[in-house]
Amino acid sequence: MAKLPGVTLSSCEKPMPVIGMGTCSFPPADLETTKTAIIEAIKAGYRHFDTAFAYGSEKPLGEAIAEALTLGLIMSRDELFITTKLWSSFAERDQIVPACKMSLQNIQLDYIDMYLIHLPVRLTGTVFSMPVEKDAIEPLDVKGVWEGMEECVKLGLTKGIGVSNFSCKKLEEVLAVATIPPAVNQVELNPTWQQKELREFCKAKGIEITAFSPLGANNTKWGDNRVMDSDVLAEIAKPRGKTVAQVALRWVYEQGVSLVAKSYNKERMKQNLQIFDWSLSEEELEKISQIPQRKGVTLASILGPHDLVLELDAEV
């Protein structure tokens, strides 16, 4: 398996492999299933893994890394790029370093490569069941939280820091206070939610966009089947002998962004890497640009339709 292309991130030495393996599964997978899938993914050539405190996949990821080292699938942990995320219950100045240490303990690592603020809100108390009560949601103290994130870098707990589900407006707020600017903004991006404005903004600011739910998160509770059932994508895929998933992932890649796609199926995870030796034509790109647009993964669908959440969903 050839090495996957990497992207250079601001204030981060190691390039990030352009495709990462997602680890948020629905229904939630048990530890053994997750661990086995991650080991298969390493065998298939994945070197970038996307986890989060909230997914419950940090522990099995750590076990899979330890086993991959024992099996000799990788020679050193440094060959991997590991992203995890600060859960919103810990999105407070003084809780960030301890939360990052907790994630490191879960993954059994000395450092992570990329630590992201999961959502642009703070949840009061430790909230695990969704949606949450209105009173449990507060606006993010951007200055305090970003200081906490920067402290994680200074302490060597993570190499890079970034955000997730942030609009241009929220990014401006971070940039206004940052000493270390966010390297990554991980957001929903796929042919049915193309994020043109956010892409342009991030490009101008040197922030790498990583697309989550690049296949539209089909068959999950937070996504839908608009990407996988798209006639436009099917018409492009068929004569090329590609799958709809491959056309969707290739399209995302051609937009100049990185992506994290999740598959725990051996064949599909391999298929999702087969997107580098062909390209879409101008005509095909034009057809994809005409696909009707709608955000699939809204904060309201995760947290509940509270005023603050609806306001954040409305920002681009």
76 burial (CB, 10 Å; 0-12 / 13-18 / 19+) is exposed
Contact 289, 194 (CB under 8 A): yes
17 binds ligand NDP (CB under 6 A): no
55 catalytic residue (yes or no): yes
165 binds ligand NDP (CB under 6 A): yes
84 binds ligand NDP (CB under 6 A): no
Q: Count CB-CB contacts under 10 A for residue 232.
A: 18
Stretch that binds ligand DGU, among 52-60, 229-237, 241-249, 284-292 (CB under 6 A): 52-60
55 binds ligand DGU (CB under 6 A): yes
Stretch that binds ligand DGU, among 49-57, 101-109, 238-246, 248-256 (CB under 6 A): 49-57
User: Dihedral through CA 93, CA 25, CA 103, CA 179, nearest 10?
Assistant: -40
Stretch that binds ligand NDP, among 87-95, 154-162, 207-215, 273-281 (CB under 6 A): 207-215
What would the x/- binding string for ligand DGU be over residues 286 to 305, using CB under 6 A?
-----------x----x---
98 preceded by cis ω (within 30°)?
no
Our CB check for ligand NDP shows the closer of 76 and 162 to be: 162
> Strand, coil or helix: what is 246?
helix
48 burial (CB, 10 Å; 0-12 / 13-18 / 19+) is buried
40 binds ligand NDP (CB under 6 A): no
Return the DSSP state at 4.
P
Our CB check for ligand DGU shows the closer of 113 and 284 to be: 113
Site for ligand NDP in 277-316 (CB under 6 A): 297
Point out the residues that are catalytic. Answer: 55
